[in-house]
Amino acid sequence: MRETPTIAVFRPDDERLADAVSLLEDLGADPVADPMLAVKATDATPRTDAEYVVLTSKTGAELVSQAGWDPGAQTVCAIGPATADALRAEGYAVDVVPEEYTSSGLVAELADDIDGARIEVARSDHGSPVLLEGFEGAGAYVHETILYRLVRPEGSGESAELAANGALDAACFTSSLTVEHFLEAAAERGIREDALAGLADATVGVIGEPTAETARSLGIDADVIPDDAMFDALARETVAAVSDR
């Protein structure tokens, strides 16, 4: 390992990426900013005829605010504190944030209260089925509104080149889609197998078990899965694992 570890980060190219780079630098790493997600808004807004409305991202919070969405008397649920903070920053009251910041955690938080209730889930086109299936299993009537689509930005893949050349010490994957897009970028360059081999020799951090499952299904073993599904924990634990290695 190099004295200053090279760590790839795949957040969208906005303040989230800037904050991630700053954090990794503060932790003594040399971050490689390689955005693997770009947002294409659909201009849709959440339905207002449900008792509960669920938001799952900062992007979703900002888009519904821009569209002038008014939740009225709906119970507003955020999947975690980052989404909750974004909703509050846009002027919305947040009624529910689960103790476990995952889809299954939110299902568990609401399961006893939603039998027969209508739930609106407003999110990206790549949301986990866990929310929808979990709510339906608890007896709720569920509708999903796609607020935005997630695509791979043109030019992404610098990190795949580094991995293929053995020049990447670690990678921080923040969703299943970042894993998929990383490998798409590698395949586009004709280096998919070399990039996989490079990740096998590196430290791979993923933000939660769903992302770890996706990674495993694509031939990538996760070394770090923080209990707290937040980027701060992912970055800190990944840097620590690289140092220990």
Q: What distance, in Å, lies between the first and last C-alpha atoms of the chain?
A: 8
Full-model pTM? 0.75
Instruction: Determine the Cα–Cα distance for residues 8 and 224; give it in Å rounded to an integer.
Output: 14
The per-residue pLDDT for range 139-185, each reduced to its tens digit, is 999 999 999 999 999 899 999 999 999 999 999 999 999 999 999 99
Q: Are 231 and 83 in contact (CB under 8 A)?
A: no
What is the DSSP track for 39-51? EEE------SSSS
For domain 6-37+153-244, which architecture applies? 3-Layer(aba) Sandwich (3.40)
Q: What is the pLDDT of residue 121?
A: 97
Domain limits, the chain: 6-37+153-244, 40-150
The per-residue pLDDT for range 55-76, each reduced to its tens digit, is 999 999 999 999 999 999 999 9
Instruction: Determine the Cα–Cα distance for residues 59 and 101; give it in Å rounded to an integer.
Output: 17
Q: Name the residue with tokens 């798409």.
A: 184
Q: What is the pLDDT of residue 218?
A: 96
Instruction: Determine the Cα–Cα distance for residues 56 and 129; give it in Å rounded to an integer.
Output: 13
Q: Are 21 and 184 in contact (CB under 8 A)?
A: no
Sheet strands side by side (includes 170-173): 30-33, 6-9, 170-173, 203-206
Instruction: Determine the Cα–Cα distance for residues 110 and 92; give it in Å rounded to an integer.
Output: 20
Q: Quick one: tokens of 12?
A: 């969208």
**Domain 40-150 fold:** Rossmann fold (3.40.50)
Same fold, 6-37+153-244 and 40-150: yes
CA 232 from centroid of its chain's CA atoms: 13
Report the greatest alpha carbon distance in the chain: 57
- Name the residue among 143, 97, 93, 151 with its Cα closest to residue 120: 143
Q: What is the pLDDT of residue 14?
A: 86
pLDDT below 70 — which residues of the chain?
1-2
Instruction: Determine the Cα–Cα distance for residues 191 and 206; give it in Å rounded to an integer.
Output: 22
